[in-house]
Amino acid sequence: MPDFGISRRGDFEPLITERIFFRVQAILDGRYEVTGPKQRNDPDFPLRGYVRCETCGKPLTASWSKGRSGEYYAYYHCRGRCRAVNISKTRLEELFVNELSRLQPTAGFMRLVKDRVISVWREMQGDARHRIAEIERRQKAIREKLDRLDQAFLFERSIDIETYDRHRDTLREELRLAQMDRHSSELEETDVEGILAFAERVLPSASNLWVQSSLAQKQRLQRVFFPDGVRFDGKRLVGTGTTLPVFNYLNPISDEKKELVDQTGIEPVTS
């Protein structure tokens, strides 16, 4: 059918909504990137969608490829037209772990963590004590009502058995609920010093923390360590200087600086 440059809404029931139509058109035109849940959450590829191609700027995708011997090999590769990146899963993740190993907490960060943990713990303890005191006052009031109820029925004979049973059951239920509230308000014994020791051991080792984490934890840590993401040019990761403010990013020693090492003592000095 010839195109006369005329566009109008049809007078029949549409198969899809207008929103879906334009979204599909954007995808077909390459103006909208789609990453399915399976792609984002495959535990085999934690860096998929996070590391970007340095050439075209698109996030890397990943897949398993079958070799001639029948074995499968995992690769990260560029999803854009440039096809500039095709690297094994092992190598790219090794490079990323190497970048993480260059992160070191800034001076005073661990002191800040310790002060914050202790402050939060003390605040939680104070809140728990306040809640428990309120619950104890409520329990005391309920027990006093039970005592007065017994007095009215057993000694004063001012109420009948049905009234007594009904009020007694209600008050006992209130007391039971109050006791449950108290148990839920009590803080479990927590080894705060142990938590701090763990933090002091783990936080300076970002690479080990990432390696030992689950997929969801890896994805969160990636954004924490490098909020602006990282790029890969086919050989090395680039653009990783922007990190969380609490970390120092240690730049590698260049080959030129390595050659400036004093050789005295290694070989005889010649005049």
Among 26-40, 78-92, 229-243, the minimum mean pLDDT is found in 26-40
Q: What is the residue extent of each domain of the chain?
A: 34-101+208-252, 109-192
pLDDT of 144 reads 95
Residue pair 60/47 in contact by the 8 Å Cβ criterion: yes
Q: Rounded to whole angstroms, what are the CA distances from 217 to 43, 133, 157, 214, 225?
A: 11, 38, 66, 5, 12
pLDDT in tens, 47-96: 999 999 998 889 999 999 888 888 889 999 998 788 889 999 999 999 99
Higher pLDDT pick, 223 / 60: 60
Q: Which of these, 94, 82, 91, 95, lies nearest to 53 by C-alpha position?
A: 82
pLDDT of 148 reads 94
Mean pLDDT score of the chain? 76
pLDDT of 260 reads 39
pLDDT of 147 reads 94
Three-state DSSP state, 39: helix
The share of the chain scoring above pLDDT 90, in percent, equals 25
Rounded to whole angstroms, how far apart are CA atoms 224 and 252? 21
Instruction: Indicate whether 1 pLDDT > 50.
Output: no
Tokens of 222: 């990636």
Instruction: Indicate whether 174 pLDDT > 80.
Output: yes
The share of the chain scoring above pLDDT 70, in percent, equals 65
pLDDT in tens, 117-158: 777 778 888 888 888 899 999 999 999 999 999 999 988 889
Instruction: Indicate whether 271 pLDDT > 60.
Output: no
Higher pLDDT pick, 197 / 182: 182
Instruction: Indicate whether 169 pLDDT > 90.
Output: yes
pLDDT of 227 reads 81
Instruction: Indicate whether 205 pLDDT > 60.
Output: yes
pLDDT of 223 reads 83
Please identify which residue in the block is written with the tokens 């104070």: 126
Higher pLDDT pick, 4 / 79: 79
Beta strands in the chain (DSSP E): 51-53, 60-66, 72-78, 86-88, 103-105, 230-232, 237-238, 247-249
Residue pair 250/104 in contact by the 8 Å Cβ criterion: yes
Q: What is the pTM of this model?
A: 0.49
pLDDT of 164 reads 92
